[in-house]
Structure 1
Amino acid sequence: MGVTLVADVAAGPTVGLLPLVALGPAFAGLTGGPARTALVGSLALILCLALGWYDGLFPGRRGTTALISVAGVTAAGLAAAVTRRRREAELASVRSIAEVAQRVLLRPVPRQAGELLVAVSYTAAVAEARIGGDLYEVVTFPGGVRVIVGDVQGKGLDAVETAADVLGAFREAAHDEPELVGVSTRLERAMDRTLQGERFVTAVIAEVRPDRTMTLLNYGHPAPLLLGSAGTARFLEPGTPAPPLGLGLDGTESPEPLTGKFAPGDQLLLYTDGVVEARDRRGTFYPLVDRLSLLDAESPELALERLHGDLVSHTEGPLGDDAALLLLRYRPQGERVGGHDGQPRLAG
């Protein structure tokens, strides 16, 4: 509006710059609230009248037309500002509901479960929704701690509903079944009943017992990473590949349990494919193995905060898929366990 004022005075009435005053309330309606838009519109009308009289356009058709144009744009800007505020309030309400739904679906995991320190990082691909198709849970039972990290095929509300079914079945079975294979069997039965069509869920189910043994069952999910206290890193690949939950393939056996030691100072990183398949602008996948030194932090929360920040920096924008990270750090009660220094070495 100021530029229009200077240009109109300099150029004179023959150029016809007076209607450009309407740009003020037009942009105010897009960026400001109703009060600000009304104020800018009032100033625009006053400026239009002043310039019109200065240029000798009043009374006359050109001056009247310009004044009507400014008044019309101001009215339209007010309507746009009111509508935008209403939609912003609705979006805030939806986000609040989504946050509640996330707390119900993906409940906060305990920071300490038995002798394990636990941390989770989760980012939905649809930022406005705050929730997506990735899932995780940590459950303590009389024999130790059980964990699941999974990824539902697809996105949207259907994926969220499927994730809720998976978590509900896992929470019940993890408490009741004495063996991890029993949890797996009940989970498969539940998924066969609830999943329809071509929907499926990849998942890793893990169990850590007080005797420092660890058991993993992998249903077509990215292999977890075991970081040893000595600085080594190893992918825990399943011996026999198993299809994801819900495919309902006749004659398919359950995955072969993968067992091993989980000693003081060790860390187990479980994640979804949204992490390792995140790409930068050149199409390069996120180099998770090269970033494992970020996990050498004082707490699991800080470790995942660093890793998540590096992941976002790698993509230089929104993630293309949901990304979940769950870190287990073995730390017996009453014993200080220091981290390792330097870059972890990937063992075979």
Structure 2
Amino acid sequence: MGKRDSRRGGAGEGVGARRFVRALPTLMIGVGIVFDLVTPTAVTAVPLFAAAPLIAAPFFSLASTVRTGVAATLAVLAIRLSDGLITKVVPLTDLLTLITVSALALVINGVVRRSNEQLASARAVAETAMRAVLPTPDDRIGGLLVAARYEAAQADEFVGGDLFAVADTPHGVRLVVGDVRGKGLDAVEAVAVVIGAFREAAEQELSLEGVAQRLERALAREGSRRGGLDSMEGFVTVVLAEIPAGAGAVRIVNRGHPEPILLHADGALEVLAPTAPALPIGMDLGVWPDRSDEWELPAGATLLAFTDGLSEARDADGVFYDPAARLRGRIFPGPEELLSALTDDVRLHTGGRATDDLALLAVGRPARGQPQRRTTVKIVGRGSE
């Protein structure tokens, strides 16, 4: 509760700070005018006027920065005209100083805009790479209905390391949802390592615990090759699940990841908390054996796994999105409809300004007599799933 209240206060303070910064150039000009009016003629308020365009430069657009510089210059010019001192040396020097500072503010604004454009370009490259790395599962795998979504945050400069994958194996349908610590292209590379290791381990390992250990070794091996785990973003939180064919059950190994949710056909809901919490993969703080937990997966039920981009999405007041509370009692025709409703709801909650990427994976066991959707045939590039 304390953490949530703290985050709420931080978000409110952040909004207030942004509003104050946007009002500051106008405030500086206003204070400069008042200061000049109440002080002797020999005392100048030019430093206050000069501060206005410098403050606007890194935060405002080019046009707004120009308007701020012009407004400050016109204010000083009007004051000096009213004093009858415009032809004196000191007032002319003040005007020249203000014009020079305004020009410098335009240069600063241009540098900031170019830097922002470079960041946006780097994010676009990373996001494209992420979408290429993430496999898009078919909508029906091993007799189960499957839907997946990846939503990139719009309020962050770098793409995150959210991941998901589904595999139909001799041991049943196995899936992984995870989140690599860090952002950018390094996180995308770590995602590729984890998904590649999962694809191989899901086919070969007899147990879900064995899959988790293979991911651990793959991440450690790749980190060592690159000179340490930090170069591979350090650690990855993952949820691994296995749904044996015709078993009506789901086994889960949770390595430090947000707890999945099981939605039943009647609207009832379960949060699948592990009996023994475990550390994320790659966090080398000791050795504990992995242990899977098992839950019933009745006909018509849907397993929902997600990254913390969902559970930590916040509204303007800093209130976290609670997927269990928002989904409890609701009934969806299938996984695709569930994810569509969920992404629309979280977008409404955040006002479209999510600060973290979001990965969702829903796997449903069809109810008896439920009509099956037609599987769309996807033509993908070589090496894709």
Q: Normalised by the size of structure 2, how large is the TM-score?
A: 0.63
Residue 345 of structure 1 corresponds to none
Answering whether residue 52 of structure 2 is matched by residue 14 of structure 1, we say: no
Q: Of 258, 264, 273, which aligns to 2:294?
A: 258
1:230 equivalent to 2:266? Answer: yes
Structure 1 distance, partners of 2:212, 2:291, is 9
In structure 2, the residue matched to 1:95 is 123
For the structure 1 residues 80 and 202, does the alpha-carbon distance in structure 2 shift closer, same or farther, using more than 3 Å as the test?
closer
Whether contact under 8 Å (2:262, 2:270) holds in the other structure is yes
Pair 50,250 (structure 1): closer, same or farther in 2 beyond 3 Å: closer
Tell me: CA distance 1:101–1:41, structure 2 relative to 1, closer, same or farther (3 Å): same
- Which position in structure 2 is the counterpart of 1:343? none
Q: CA deviation at 1:68?
A: 1.6
Q: Please say which of residues 184-193 and 10-19 is displaced more in the overlay.
A: 10-19
Q: 1:155 aligned to 2:170?
A: no
**After the TM superposition, which of the residue ranges 219-228 and 193-202 deviates more from structure 2?**
193-202
Q: Distance in 1 between matches of 2:309 and 2:65?
A: 42
Question: 5+ unaligned residues in a row in structure 2: which ranges?
Answer: 1-25, 373-385
Deviations 1:50-82 (A, max 9, x none): 653453213213321221222122122111121
Q: Structure 1 127/44 Cα, relative in aligned 2: closer, same or farther at 3 Å?
A: closer
Deviation at 1:25, TM superposition (A): 4.2
Which structure 2 residues correspond to residues 164-203 of structure 1 after superposition, within 5 A?
Answer: 164-174=192-202, 176-177=203-204, 179=206, 181=208, 183-184=211-212, 186-194=214-222, 199-203=234-238
Q: SS at 2:156's partner residue?
A: coil
Residues 310 and 326 (structure 1 numbering): CA distance in 2 closer, same or farther, change over 3 Å? farther
Contact 1:106 1:136 in 2 (8 A): yes
Match of 2:239? 204
Q: How far apart are the structure 2 equivalents of 1:139 and 1:246?
A: 23
Per-residue displacement from partner, 1:9-50 (whole Å, max 9, x unpaired)? 988993867736546644553455446645664676566556
The alignment covers a number of residue pairs equal to 330
Deviation of 1:334 (Å): 8.3
Name the structure 2 match of 1:74: 102
Aligned residues with identical type, % of pairs: 34
Structure 1 residue runs of 5 or longer lacking an equivalent are 338-348
* Separation (CA, whole Å) in 2 of partners of 1:248 and 1:50: 68
Q: Does 1:130 align with 2:130?
A: no
Secondary structure in 2 aligned to 1:155? strand
Alignment-derived partner of residue 113 in structure 2 = 85
Which one-letter code corresponds to 2:342 in the other structure? L
Show the counterpart of 1:267. Answer: 302
Give the 3 Å change call, closer, same or farther, for CA 284–103 of structure 1 in structure 2: closer
Residue 55, structure 1, aligned to residue 89, structure 2: no
Q: What root-mean-square deviation, in Å, do the aligned CA atoms of Structure 1 and Structure 2 show?
A: 4.9
Task: Flag the 1:159–1:50 CA change in 2: closer, same or farther, 3 A.
Answer: closer
After superposition, the C-alpha distances for 1:216-254 in whole angstroms (9 at most, x for unaligned) are 240434543322213333344557776654467998655
TM-score (norm 1): 0.69
Match of 2:149 among 104, 120, 123: 120
Q: Deviations over 1:258-290 (max 9, x none)?
A: 364442x21112234675577999999765543
User: Deviation of residue 170 (structure 1)?
Assistant: 0.9
Q: CA deviation at 1:177?
A: 3.3
Q: Counterpart of 1:29?
A: 57
Residue type matched to 2:327 in 1? L
- Which one-letter code corresponds to 2:111 in the other structure? T
